[in-house]
């Protein structure tokens, strides 16, 4: 008997995710692509077998997770528990945390669910912000394609992350973004690290002086 044909809810915002969802269709599965906020009743009515989130910008609420029977996973471009939250690639480059990609179950926290699979990715020499993101994008999709055939074993493969890791919010990066006169995704990684590092040092100094800075 062949593998079960599934109806899969695919959540995204960046077009880079669509290639992965088309691949699922090529494997014979049905997909429903969504970029907006979800309604729990609609999720229940559609009786999805699986939910997949990749680049989806909204926090997935508990009622949505319950409506999907807890069977929703996320592709996150970091080696969890490091760089949870927004802009994981940019924070990884800046802070030097372990670099990688992870596939994990979605829970009520932010990038805190049990991990199914993850992989360390070595940084590329001479990378720009764009190519460094594309490197992780390729790796995340390749890892998913590798573990998807083992779908029926995912529950036994899941494991909790060890350690506290790191977490960043969108407003944390806004402070860095505003310091660049002309933000350019083709900026060399080395120049980004130098400039952003200066911003963080200045912010930390301001914090010591009692002014607004990064907070956790």
Q: What was the pLDDT predicted at 213?
A: 43
pLDDT value of residue 57: 94
And the tokens for 72? 């929703």
User: What is residue 203's predicted lDDT score, i.e. its pLDDT?
Assistant: 65
* Structure confidence at residue 123 (pLDDT): 94
Which contiguous run of DSSP H or E holds residue 168? strand 167-168
pLDDT tens digits along 39-76: 999 999 999 999 999 999 999 999 999 999 999 999 99
pTM, 2 dp = 0.89
Own/partner pairs for 11-19, CB < 8 Å, 24+ apart?
A: 11/35, 11/38, 11/51, 11/52, 11/53, 11/54, 11/56, 11/60, 12/53, 12/54, 12/55, 12/56, 13/55, 13/56, 13/57, 14/54, 14/55, 16/55, 16/137, 17/54, 17/55, 17/75, 19/141
Residues lower than pLDDT 70 in the chain: 1-2, 203-216
- Domain 7-167, CATH homologous superfamily name and number: Formyl transferase, N-terminal domain (3.40.50.170)
């Amino acid at each position: 008997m062949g593998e079960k044909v599934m109806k899969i809810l695919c959540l995204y915002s960046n077009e880079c995710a669509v290639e992965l969802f088309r691949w699922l269709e090529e494997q014979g599965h049905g997909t429903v692509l969504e970029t907006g906020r979800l309604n729990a009743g609609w999720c229940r009515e559609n009786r999805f077998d699986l939910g997949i989130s990749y680049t989806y910008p909204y926090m997935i609420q508990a009622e949505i997770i319950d409506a999907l029977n807890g069977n929703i996973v996320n592709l996150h471009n970091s080696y969890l528990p490091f760089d949870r939250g927004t802009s994981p690639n940019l924070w990884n480059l800046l802070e030097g945390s372990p670099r990688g990609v992870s596939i994990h179950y979605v829970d009520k926290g932010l990038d805190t669910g049990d991990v199914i699979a993850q992989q360390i990715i070595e940084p590329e020499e001479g990378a720009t912000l764009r190519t460094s993101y594309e490197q992780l994008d390729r790796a995340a999709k390749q890892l998913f394609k590798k573990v998807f055939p083992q779908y029926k074993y995912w529950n036994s493969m899941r494991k909790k992350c060890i350690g506290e890791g790191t977490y960043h919010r969108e407003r944390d990066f806004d402070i860095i973004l505003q310091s660049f006169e002309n933000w350019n995704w083709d900026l060399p990684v080395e120049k980004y690290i130098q400039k952003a590092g200066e911003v963080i040092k200045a912010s930390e100094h301001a914090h010591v002086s009692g002014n607004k800075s990064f907070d956790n």
